[in-house]
Amino acid sequence: MINRSLFPAVVRIGVLTAIGTGLLLLPGCDGGGTSPEPPSPPTSVQATTQDGSVSLTWDGGADASGYNVYRSTSPFSGAPGTPVNGDTPLGQPTLTDDAVDTGTRYYYRVTAVGEGGESDPSAEVSVRPFPSPPPRPEHIL
């Protein structure tokens, strides 16, 4: 018989053995430990354009092990979608996005990835890539 007064307000499973009463802990019952928190969102996201591409840089913080970059052609609302960098988080706080059309405005957000999962997104930045300038004219009279 299990004496319930020994375990107030805690759900435990008692096991009767030949020696006496034991305690069975199920897998995943780690005694109330806490899970790690996601990293802080990246800050100071900067977007620049040159030669028909977009270069992004940001401050990631010490607790991030990688980053995801999200792109949209309209301001973000709700879920961010699929990362530009695919399934593998970036190891450095920088990305060059060559898959853009010149003249189209793009919106970007960055998240940090760590042991505790993915952070909230950074502040949104927008940029409109422009084409490379034409070559310098030669032989002008």
Predicted confidence (pLDDT) per residue in 64-123, tens digit: 999 999 999 999 998 778 899 999 999 999 999 999 999 999 999 999 999 999 999 999
CA 51 to chain centre: 28
pTM as predicted? 0.71
Higher pLDDT, 11 or 136: 136
**CATH superfamily membership of 43-127:** Immunoglobulins (2.60.40.10)
* Calpha distance 65→127 (Å, rounded): 26
Residue 3, pLDDT score = 45
| 21-24 and 106-114 beta bridge pairing | unpaired
- Judged by phi (left if over 0) then psi (alpha if -120 to 50, else beta), residue 139 lies in left
User: What is the per-residue pLDDT across 117-139, written as a single tens digit (0 to 9) for each?
Assistant: 999 999 999 999 988 777 888 88
Q: Residue 56 burial (CB < 10 Å; 0-12/13-18/19+)?
A: buried
**Please, are residues 48 and 127 in contact by the beta-carbon 8 Å criterion?**
yes
Residue 116, pLDDT score = 96
